[in-house]
Chains A and B, each alone.
Chain A
Amino acid sequence: MAVTTFEILDTTKDVTTTRTLLHESIPLTGTIVSGTYGAFRSEGNIKNYTHGQFQSVYDYPYLSSSANHIFDIAIGYDESSTLSGTTNTTQQAKKINMYNQFSQVLLGYTGSNNDAKKFELDLTLDATDGFVMKEAVFVTLSRLITKDQIKKGSVSVTLGTGSWADPFSDNAGRGRKTLTDASASDTGGTANTLGGDYGLLYELGAPNLVRGLVFYQAGILALSTSSWTAPSAGSTKGETGLEFQRYDTDASSKKTVAQVFTGSAITGACDTIRHRIQNISFNNTTEINSTIYFCRVPHNTYNYSSNPTYLSSSTIRVKSVNTDTPVSYITTIGLYSSSNELLAVAKLSEPLKKDPNNELTLRVRLDY
């Protein structure tokens, strides 16, 4: 249908923009992370690589086209860590490289020598010794589930700090530990760095104990080994000599956290960490930007249609007496550029009756 008249949109009064945040609740239960899709350490939803730098976790056996990649796990430590240079170290260079890689990407560099910054369990990144996290477990969440960013204040990670055989329900002794970023919100409780905003993962029930970091835009969790090793005062869970890994009944196979970080390959350490993840949950965020056009229909216009069906034998169908006021039914709104090019069409769910006795304002929203 040819358009013969246009209503000019006044950009100061008729056009506005809005931003809507759409969230999704993402629960990742430990059962899919460990032991559901096959025997532990040979699950079909766990992918190991020949490079051995990290391990990928899928929500279903990854050979199936149904599977979605949900996160990767890696471990690493800084070369100044006490674990560095110890005897019986496996893949030491690779573990140091992993730590450096994450720190360079997420934190950037410092000093005249452009040294990569170290992770710290605070929001200042001032290299205060007591807060530097020299050993870390990195959980890189898939973009598929983090979308634009993780919602601040929504992260919860439950880790098993009990014995190897019963890591989660041994509550009488070491129990399990839940980490949350409860202090983070859109208005505070986070710091900004090269990799975006990050918040602190506090131990639930021990509000002064920080056990890790969460990078919201990057979708990365950096967990401290202190989640499993000896806690500071105020927490009763975890211990230095924790039986962090014990693949068989032989007591000699028992390994502490430090022994796993030094004596196991990254892949083996990731297996152990998977065994000790009970739950990871967070809310993601998708930002939907919209432009709203208020299309105003004055009383004295758009009361006629150039649709061929509007006329029947040269008389207007919707009028029975020639003195009746003209009537039209609005079904569609076309948005045109300044060069009169049709850019978009908005359809109404049902036609709106228009005659000289009424005025309409139609709100057209364009999401992108």
Chain B
Amino acid sequence: MADRITRAEVEHVAKLARLALSDDELAALTGELGAILDYAAEVSALDTHDVTPTAHPLPLVNVFRPDVARAGVPRDEVLAAAPAAEDDKFRVPRILGEAP
């Protein structure tokens, strides 16, 4: 079986998914993901050229909410759960890049 997914691809995906995987994890995952993808790729055997994808199992459309304001959750309760907070805001380590 050819490599369905390479180690380099796995590293790239780990970056996209923000997972700091160890070398052992990366090695194991390359094999596991490859095997799973081999199995999952069976879906390509089916002819779907005239088939629309099902994104929603329900035939619902136009579900709205009236534009009415109401109070939110008290700040203290939310900030109490924060791993780090300062000046009533959530504190994070330095951000390296600008927002896309």
Do A and B interact? Answer: no
- Please report A residues at the B interface, Cβ cutoff 8 Å: none
